[in-house]
Chain A
């Protein structure tokens, strides 16, 4: 089973890393979300994203080994790489300690994520189509959740100002989500869909519909260098997510 080449694997691994880091960052709101019901809902969404990451990591490993991946192999990919080997974008690495930033990032990310799964839903690979179908059904809920919160806050002047500031802060990271990961050049479109750069216009149009028209030329994307550079906040999230597994790196789980 070597349906994927290195370029297709690079595309899927970068997506998996985005999902992994996004899930990890969302779960940081457990216990401190603005109200109890949101606390549970947001953590659940984070859990869904971690599930998407696991499905993608498993698919990449199974493709390489030809076998059903063992949990250790998935953990190795998810937790035991060096920071420079991750291919996450900076949007999902950001700490977003203010709720407005976390909420705006949630909307920006899930809108992009739905576009990416939409591409994989048309894959020639049955495995990819199957996990894309599952993820898409969850993304409909994630986006409805993000839109419901933004709609509810829209009428409030203070909330509106906070959301506008969060958007200004997040957009340079958001546009950089569409940077192609290193090694993904020439990935076969019938397998992994169109390249990220081709999805960016649809995403920008959705942002304009949600938050109002803007001058995109003025939004300067952060420089991630083929997603090989990690942002400053990565260090703490990397330490947090490896805290338990590194207590005893040789333990069998």
Chain B
């Protein structure tokens, strides 16, 4: 038996998402069984079934150094802070500005 990974895509702009795996004796059975095991309630419109042996795996060590690069994360806090400061400044001018 081979292990297969199953991916489904819903209608619209959603990407294919991994939904699970299954064991099957061959490719045809994998497709046939994936249909009833993962799409029996029309959970997706399109289905990919991939033999796990055909998945290219990047090993953990190869990826790990990128875990320590906070400067690549833009959570928007710097921009938010500048905008807050800007608003505070204009509020003050509103209060002082006599009409």
Q: Please list the residues of chain A having a beta carbon within 8 angstroms of any beta carbon in chain B.
A: 35-38, 40-41, 44-45, 141, 144-145, 148-149, 151-152
Contacts and interface: CB of A to CB of B under 8 A. Distances in A.
A37 B37 contact: yes
Contacts of A152: 25-26, 28-29
Contacts, number: 36
Interface in B9-47: 22-26, 28-29, 32-33, 35-37, 40
Given A152-B25, A152-B26, A38 B35 contact: no
10 contacts: A37-B24, A38-B33, A40-B37, A40-B40, A44-B36, A141-B35, A145-B36, A148-B28, A152-B26, A152-B29
A36 B28 CA distance: 17
Contacts of A45: 36
A247 to B, nearest CB: 29
B40 A44 contact: yes
Interface residues of B, number: 14
Interface of B: 1, 22-26, 28-29, 32-33, 35-37, 40
B36 A151 contact: no
Contacts of B28: 148, 151-152
Given A37-B22, A37-B37, A144-B32, 12 more contacts: A36-B23, A37-B23, A37-B24, A40-B37, A40-B40, A41-B33, A44-B36, A141-B35, A148-B26, A151-B26, A152-B25, A152-B28
